[in-house]
Amino acid sequence: MCGIIARVGSDNGVDELLNSLSNLDYRGYDSAGLAVVNGDIRPTVVKCEGSIEDLGTRIDGRLAGSVGIGHTRWSTHGPPTDENAHPHTCCDGRIAVVHNGIIENHESLRERLVAAGHRFDSETDTEVVPHLIETYLKRGCDPETAFRRAVGDLSGSYAIAALIGDDDTVYATRSGSPLVLGVGDDEYYLASDVPAFLEYTDRVVYLEDGQLLTVDPEGYRLTTFDGRTLDPSVETVNWDPEQAGKGAYDHFMLKEIYEQPHALRQAIKGRVDPGTNELSLEEFEEGAFADVSDVQFVGCGTSYHAALYGVHLCSNRGIPAAAYLASEYATSQPRISEDTLVVGVTQSGETADTLNALREADRAGARTLALTNVVGSTAARECDDALLIRAGPEIGVAATKTFSSQVVCLLLLAERLARDRGLDESSSDLFAALDALPDAVQRLLDETSARSIAERYSGANSFFFIGRNTCFTVALEGALKFKEITYEHAEGFAAGELKHGPLALVTPETPAIGVLDGPDREKTRHSLAEARARGAPVVAITCDPESVDDVADHVLEVPRTHLELAGVLANVQLQLLSYHAAAMLSRPIDKPRNLAKSVTVE
């Protein structure tokens, strides 16, 4: 989950490297470092435990070079220390390497290298790579061959970039972890994710597993691992660079919550016509899903909650569907046929557990589809089909606007599946509500009272979130968001299950937050009454405040909409509740402890 950046140009690029690292710190932020070529026989390395700002202070204008690599770390092997920070070097310091992923055979490689006389300074798996390159250089290999042979010794998942000696070339490759090349006018960038360099160029080349890239000031060359030259296509990313910035907001999370009306418009644009009830998903041919017998969704975290929402949307249309935690999919052994559609719900398209689940489904003969935010992501490229959610870059570690966009696109997918299979299409009321959804979210954002409710219950012992049907999935997501950024205990329950155990935990210090605007709203209302009868303060999220006068102490009101979309509006209120609660506790909202944005390790 670490962030890699490389920059190759003809002028001093240290400021660009530091800025690009700042743009990547949602991928890890416990240590950071740079290595640059500056005329010496070895790259100059500066690294430290702490933030990228700490790294900038340590550099303090004393580092210069036109070619360099950088890294921001999310710890896997060894705690955050100066020694464990990347880049890592070989014995004589002539090779510097940054790495994202996990090298599974690092222990045996380390033993072999130590026996050969190599000295190690860190606890990381990464450090074996520069020593391997050094070994092959000493055997007479040229730098590219040494890099190629060193990588051939590795097993696991990795994205690697290396500097070798005083050469102004960056060597890079990937296997299971993302790398994308940015092609500028007079410089080149290499990063784990596009936002790293988006303000410098929007032209990109997505690397595939097993490809080797060399970049110098004269250009770049992409080859297969056996040396065959490739001619990759250069794509243009249609993200606005300003979208990757924080603007006037205090946090990326708040900015991205308020971007949801725009993100939803993008998700819907050109895909639905409320006037004619037409649905157009140009990614798929007419009747593309006519043979689908059942749908299996896989995802992690917030994306898993969106997948659960998708199950309800499919079931409502008579389509057999189930959702699986991607990390458990292989051991769950669901029955798969050639008519099974397996949908990977993944914001980044790079989540390791989800990719592995999709690959397992592909091996079993299923058709695969990636529901993702990133055009050139691994999931989008590897799956049989892809449906983009079009949410724009999301930098905050806690996902917000991507959940809303995922749910809307899952609704469109479920509707298309139903139509292709000859099932009754939904009424025009749904598409009219979908068309009005962005404005409804904007109205909610303008009128919300989430901050005052967060103030009222700051300091509570625990928070319970409950709901039924799609509102249960929103309750799960609300609890996840709350615990992610406040560090306070929160749990989501199906409302009907409250009385089957969790009610034992209810006290006057455990607010119960109920999402009511689903098909079983009255039953959820009864569950809230049970909690209140035992002293719990109750917050109700509903479009009909008067209906909960007798059970709710506070109401977070949402605009009235179609039942299948009510959860989207309720979720925005829960995002705001979590945000304001975390802000009052002075939590690092965009960088919650121990977490990172794109989980590219299992």
Q: What is the DSSP string of 315-330?
A: HTTT--EEEEEGGGHH
Q: Give phi and psi for 343, each to the nearest 5.
A: -105, 120
Asked if residues 166 and 37 have their Cβ atoms less than 8 Å apart, the reply is yes
Which residues, 6+ apart, have CB-to-CB distance to 546 below 8 Å?
Answer: none
Distance from C-alpha of 7 to C-alpha of 18, rounded to nearest angstrom: 10
554-557 and 367-372 as β-strands: parallel, antiparallel, unpaired?
unpaired
How far apart are alpha carbons 307 and 347 in whole angstroms?
A: 12
Per-residue pLDDT tens digits for 56-103: 899 988 899 999 999 998 777 778 888 899 999 999 999 999 999 889
* pLDDT band for position 426 (cuts 50, 70, 90): confident
Summarised one tens digit per residue, pLDDT across range 325-350 is: 999 998 888 999 999 999 999 999 98
Tokens 């009864």 identify what position? Answer: 526
Inter-CA distances, 437 with 316, 562, 564, 567, 572, Å: 20, 9, 11, 11, 12
The reported pLDDT for the residue numbered 180 is: 94
- Read off the pLDDT of residues 367-415 as tens digits, 9 standing for 90 and up: 999 999 988 888 999 999 999 999 988 988 999 999 999 999 999 999 9
Q: How confident is the model at residue 173 (pLDDT cuts 50, 70, 90)?
A: very high
Mean pLDDT across the stretch 200-221? 94
The Cα 199–Cα 184 span in angstroms is 10
β-bridge pairing 180-183 and 203-206 = antiparallel
Which pLDDT tens digit goes with each residue over 515-561? 998 778 889 999 999 999 999 999 999 999 999 999 999 999 999 99
Burial 149-178 (b: 16+ CB within 10 A, else e): bbbebbebbbbbbbbbbebbbbbbbbbbbb
Instruction: Give Rg (Cα) of the chain.
Output: 25
User: Which long-range contacts does 222-229 make (Cβ < 8 Å, 24+ apart)?
Assistant: 225/148, 225/151, 225/152, 225/173, 227/148
Report the pLDDT value the prediction gives residue 318, as an integer from 0 to 100.
Answer: 95
Tell me, what's the pLDDT at 271?
A: 95
Name the residues annotated as catalytic: 2, 597
- 601 pLDDT band (50/70/90 cuts)? low
What is the reported pLDDT for 2? 83
Q: Check residue 447 and give its pLDDT.
A: 96
Collect all residues with Cβ–Cβ distance below 8 Å to 585 and sequence separation of at least 6: 458, 486, 487, 488
How many degrees, rounded to 5, is the angle at CA 446 between CA 444 and CA 449? 70
> Which tokens in the block code for residue 68?
């360099």
Q: In this predicted structure, what is the pLDDT of residue 599?
A: 64
Torsion sign across C-alpha atoms 536, 542, 547, 549: positive
Strands (DSSP E) along 410-511, which ranges? Answer: 463-467, 490-494
Q: pTM of the entire structure?
A: 0.82
Rounded mean pLDDT, 266-282: 91
Per-residue pLDDT reduced to its tens digit, 454-507: 999 998 999 999 999 999 999 999 999 999 999 999 999 999 998 899 999 999
CA distance 45 to 37: 9
Task: Determine the pLDDT at residue 600.
Answer: 57
10-28 average pLDDT score: 87
What residues does 128 pair with on adjacent strands?
A: none
Percent of the chain residues topping a pLDDT of 70: 98
Burial 318-355 (b: 16+ CB within 10 A, else e): ebebbbbbbbebbeeebebeeebbbbbbbbbbbbbbbb
- In this model, does residue 416 exceed pLDDT 60? yes
Q: Which domains are delineated in the chain? A: 3-243 (3.60.20.10), 252-444 (3.40.50.10490), 450-584 (3.40.50.10490)
Strands (DSSP E) found in 168-251: 170-175, 180-183, 188-191, 203-206, 211-216, 219-224, 235-236
Q: What is the mean pLDDT of residues 173-186?
A: 92
Three-state SS for 26-58 is HHCCCEEEEEEECCCCCCEEEEEECCHHHHHHH
Average pLDDT of span 113-123: 94
Q: 215 - beta bridge partners? A: 170, 220
- What pLDDT score does 387 carry? 97
Q: How confident is the model at residue 44 (pLDDT cuts 50, 70, 90)?
A: very high
Residue 598 pLDDT > 70, yes or no?
A: no
